[in-house]
């Protein structure tokens, strides 16, 4: 994922958010007008459509792109909100979690300019109860994502901080922080502002985990736009180095066969390799597998993954390079340009756009 991993349920509006499971219906739930399978299928289809519409957050980066994406985003959000109402009626015990998911969808609609959701949240924010605090926080996050500069982002974070301070234990307000990752890459100062908010005004283990994630993100972002040479023991080369790929664009995939999101990303990585290898793209896998046998078996079953894999049978598990770079969750994808400069530590969200761009650059 992006810098905020899936530390709490419902937080799936990430730069490359995965499909989430449908509700678990208990025997005490209200009678359904449709089967759980039908609801879940509808849910997954619409989440997939929403993911396509926002393109990992790329469609939210400018006023023009938001305007272009708005009709599809708003239409799908309205369908998903209706499905959440259906789920909530069928499973009242899940209402709090579903409410948290709903407000994230509503924020997304506000980001692309939906006047109905903006008016609804603004009306709720005029009150003084917990729902008003949540609405104020939601509007602040929408303003953060839309802000064109650091000054605008700082103002939005100040408003959000007030709301979080007023409801430090509320998971719905806290969960909205995940949506900051929908913004274009912020400056180091903005990242630090967000980290300070989490450390000072959020409570509980989820806040502690998010602080770790943010600290990791800040460290990784500090590596961007600097030369990077990756060396290590590969399955087929004990002295592998990206130095030998001078002039190539390199997609680096930190992954493991036990990692579900990693498996979900492999078709995208495969497609990038298939589409662009002839144009100068190389892929390097850095495996965090617990067993070399597991890794080798998987690669034998997937011969299209012909790129090198860094893995040392003497040190299985979390790869030492992942530790040294501050990576605490996978998949994590880097992009190195033709000059050997690390251009992105968040390539998972934007590889389809970045790879062709970097390939067009001169070595």
Q: Whole-angstrom Cα distance, residue 211 to residue 330?
A: 17
Q: Global pTM? A: 0.68
Characterize 249-263 residue by residue with b for buried, 16 or more Cβ atoms within 10 angstroms of its Cβ, and e for exposed.
bbbbbbbbbebebbe
Order of all β-strands in the sheet with 309-310: 226-227, 341-344, 332-336, 249-255, 281-287, 309-310, 231-234, 237-241
For 19, how many CA atoms within 13 A lie in the half-sphere containing its CB? 16
**Rounded to 5 degrees, what are φ and ψ at 254?**
-85, 120
- What pLDDT shows up at residue 201? 78
Tokens of 338: 């033709």
- What pLDDT shows up at residue 31? 54
Question: Which ranges of the chain have pLDDT less than 70?
Answer: 1-33, 185
- What pLDDT shows up at residue 282? 98
- What pLDDT shows up at residue 317? 96
Q: Are 257 and 289 spatial neighbours (Cβ–Cβ below 8 Å)? A: yes
Packing angle of the helix pair 130-146, 150-166 (nearest 10 deg): 160
Q: Are 261 and 18 spatial neighbours (Cβ–Cβ below 8 Å)? A: yes
Domain 227-360 in CATH 3.40.190.10? The answer is no
∠ CA 162-8-165, rounded to 5°:
15
Q: Which residues contact 212 (CB under 8 A, 6 or more apart)?
A: 328
Instruction: Residue 26: count other Cβ atoms within 10 Å of its Cβ.
Output: 11
Look at residue 319 and give its three-state secondary structure.
Answer: coil
Q: Which residues contact 130 (CB under 8 A, 6 or more apart)?
A: 167, 170
Give the domain ranges of the chain: 36-221, 227-360
- What pLDDT shows up at residue 21? 39
Q: Which residues contact 141 (CB under 8 A, 6 or more apart)?
A: 107, 156, 160, 176, 177, 179, 180
Q: What is the pLDDT of residues 88-118, one digit of tens each?
A: 887 777 787 888 889 999 999 999 999 999 9
Strand 281-287 versus strand 249-255 pairing type: parallel
- What pLDDT shows up at residue 1? 30
Rounded to a whole number of angstroms, the distance between the first and last alpha carbons of the chain is 29
**Rounded to 5 degrees, what are φ and ψ at 313?**
-60, -20
Residue with tokens 């939005």: 156
């Amino acid at each position: 994922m992006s810098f905020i991993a899936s530390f709490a349920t419902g937080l799936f509006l990430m730069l490359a958010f995965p499909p989430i499971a449908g509700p678990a219906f208990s025997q005490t739930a209200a009678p359904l007008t449709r089967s759980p399978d039908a609801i879940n299928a509808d849910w997954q289809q619409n989440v997939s459509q929403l993911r396509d519409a926002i393109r990992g957050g790329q469609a939210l980066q400018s006023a023009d792109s938001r305007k272009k994406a708005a009709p599809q985003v708003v239409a799908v959000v309205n369908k998903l909100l209706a499905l959440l109402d259906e789920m909530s009626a069928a499973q009242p015990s899940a209402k709090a979690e579903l409410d948290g998911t709903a407000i994230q969808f509503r924020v997304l609609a506000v980001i692309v300019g939906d006047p109905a959701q903006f008016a609804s949240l603004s009306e709720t924010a005029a009150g003084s109860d917990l729902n008003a605090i949540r609405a104020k926080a939601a509007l602040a996050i929408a303003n953060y994502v839309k802000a064109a500069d650091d000054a605008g982002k700082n103002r939005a974070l100040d408003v959000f901080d007030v709301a979080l301070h007023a409801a430090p234990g509320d998971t719905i307000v806290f969960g909205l922080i995940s949506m900051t990752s929908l913004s274009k890459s912020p400056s180091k100062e903005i990242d630090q502002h967000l980290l300070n908010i989490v450390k000072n005004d959020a409570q509980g283990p989820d806040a502690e985990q998010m602080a770790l994630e943010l600290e990791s993100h800040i460290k990784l972002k500090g590596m961007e736009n600097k030369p990077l040479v990756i060396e290590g023991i590969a399955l087929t080369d004990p002295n592998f180095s990206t130095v030998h790929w001078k002039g190539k664009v390199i997609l680096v995939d930190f992954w493991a066969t036990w990692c579900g999101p990693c498996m979900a990303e492999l078709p995208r990585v495969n497609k990038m390799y298939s589409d662009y290898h002839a144009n100068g793209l190389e892929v390097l896998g850095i495996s965090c597998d617990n067993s070399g046998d597991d890794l080798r078996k998987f690669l034998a079953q997937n011969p299209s993954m012909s790129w090198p894999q860094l893995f040392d049978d003497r040190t299985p598990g979390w790869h030492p390079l992942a530790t040294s770079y501050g990576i605490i969750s996978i998949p994590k994808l880097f992009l190195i340009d033709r000059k050997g400069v690390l251009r992105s530590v968040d390539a998972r969200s934007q590889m389809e756009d970045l790879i062709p761009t970097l390939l067009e650059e001169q070595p």
